[in-house]
Structure 1
């Protein structure tokens, strides 16, 4: 569904990834991990078609992503940014309805179907009843769930999510990741998450990309990637691995 071919990214003379070849397929939950400044957001934006690579291509549904009309692309691929700023005062429902824009014709107003989609998205993230509240009156965690609801209302089968659990407490971190990861079980759906929590990556991911600070990128099934040597090299710190019969957990040593 989404593929990078010979992809190279550079910023200020520094190579973030070199000649990356990776295919993300339906039914998969990909997780991107790396230290601060390793280029995770830049790579995610490039895969979304929002930034041109130095070399290589990104393909969406077998077509070069930058040649696909913006509205058509937004019907297929949605992006949750790390931080979202609103330049205008808006209510919760007005914000979530912006996710419906790719499905509207030019100058078309939102209809009953769009309101149903927005209200269903708010219900899914546990914010039903707050639809008329001004966005500025919400907590940081509530605003993050509004942003997730906006992405859900967009209903794009491919979602790229940059630190989706920003500002969320432990309960909502698990609830939102469970909600989002479950979408990949729907036919033709795929997620790519940028996360910092290795243990949540293990819990919700199927595949991963590890971005090292020398331009190297390892990718594949998470069960093969997430081991102590790889993670210690990735984060430049010693880790403890705790294991049982089912899984492993990694903690700073």
Structure 2
């Protein structure tokens, strides 16, 4: 099982430093969820873990090797990244989209193989999209479309999956559907999964390991019950709250205190 880690990582956009001197070991075979306020560096960190960005200093390591020194094809065969709000060409069918996940495994002299077909069909089956494989992507609901993108990442057949806000713009039922699917993939296929998520209570319910970020550094990390405390939530999100135990999942549940009412003068 591949190991992904960051050591003394500093990332910046132009002259603005987003992440500084960050160290992180991603637990193998677990679901790690990154939480934090807007602009804290969650998505930036995920992009660097996926080799989209290049650090000013420090490095991301994949199995002990500097990820930027590895061949792109080798990285793509090990690590799959699903960005926030991905786009697909108009008129693409579900199966066409999922098939794109096989590109890292193809060569110019041997394009499509029996193994490619097997991985695509398996990804469609796991995500319950086999009956929709010939439908245009544009005709699917939000939850179905997100499952199609996850199926594409699955067809890539990587040991590590990184997902940036996979539940954005989905209603609660579809959020649960997507996160349940990712949990099944983790349990059944032993995939290491790293997710950026805004919803604190869902993060606590589905994470094996929580990483709370604040202003470009890791404020706290560990099991959900270690990170989801009223003190840490107040420091990271500037939010007073009470933490109780979710009666269904038995994970921490954040109950926010109301902010002071703002009186609007007419």
Same fold? TM cut 0.5: yes
Structure-1 residue corresponding to 2:255: 251
| Whole-angstrom CA distance in 2 between matches of 1:235 and 1:116 | 45
| Whole-angstrom CA distance in 2 between matches of 1:25 and 1:247 | 19
Q: Is the 8 A contact 1:9 1:54 kept in 2?
A: yes
Structure-1 residue corresponding to 2:112: 110
Q: CA deviation at 1:218?
A: 2.8
| Whole-angstrom CA distance in 2 between matches of 1:147 and 1:188 | 19
Structure-1 residue corresponding to 2:182: 180
Q: CA deviation at 1:144?
A: 1.3
Could you tell me which of 207, 214, 217 is aligned with 1:212?
214
Q: Which residues in structure 2 correspond to 1:128-139 (within 5 Å)?
A: 128-139=130-141
| Whole-angstrom CA distance in 1 between matches of 2:146 and 2:94 | 11
Q: Is the 8 A contact 1:10 1:54 kept in 2?
A: yes
| Whole-angstrom CA distance in 1 between matches of 2:138 and 2:66 | 38
| Whole-angstrom CA distance in 1 between matches of 2:149 and 2:191 | 19
Number of residue pairs matched by the alignment: 253
Structure-1 residue corresponding to 2:225: 223
Q: Is the 8 A contact 1:144 1:166 kept in 2?
A: no
1:139-159: per-residue Cα shift (whole Å, max 9, x none)?
333221110111111110011
Q: CA deviation at 1:39?
A: 1.6
Specify whether residues 214 and 22 from structure 1 end up closer, same or farther in structure 2 by C-alpha distance, changes over 3 A only.
Answer: closer
Structure-1 residue corresponding to 2:202: 200
Could you tell me which of 8, 11, 14 is aligned with 1:9?
11
For structure 1, which segment, 228-237 or 51-60, has the greater mean C-alpha deviation from structure 2 after superposition? Answer: 228-237
Q: TM-score, normalised by structure 2?
A: 0.86
User: Unmatched 5+ residue regions in structure 1?
Assistant: none
1:189-239: per-residue Cα shift (whole Å, max 9, x none)?
311111111111112111122111264543233331111111122222222
SS at match of 2:131: coil
For structure 1, which segment, 44-53 or 240-249, has the greater mean C-alpha deviation from structure 2 after superposition? Answer: 240-249
Structure-1 residue corresponding to 2:262: none
Could you tell me which of 91, 96, 99 is aligned with 2:98?
96
Could you tell me which of 122, 142, 145 is aligned with 1:143?
145
Specify whether residues 244 and 186 from structure 1 end up closer, same or farther in structure 2 by C-alpha distance, changes over 3 A only.
Answer: closer
Specify whether residues 158 and 9 from structure 1 end up closer, same or farther in structure 2 by C-alpha distance, changes over 3 A only.
Answer: same
Structure-2 residue corresponding to 1:72: 74
Q: Is the 8 A contact 2:160 2:191 kept in 1?
A: yes
SS at match of 2:47: helix
| Alignment partner of 1:82 is 2:84 | yes
Specify whether residues 244 and 74 from structure 1 end up closer, same or farther in structure 2 by C-alpha distance, changes over 3 A only.
Answer: closer
Moved over 6 A (4+): none
> CA RMSD of the aligned region, Å?
2.2
For structure 1, which segment, 178-187 or 40-49, has the greater mean C-alpha deviation from structure 2 after superposition? Answer: 178-187
For structure 1, which segment, 74-83 or 183-192, has the greater mean C-alpha deviation from structure 2 after superposition? Answer: 183-192
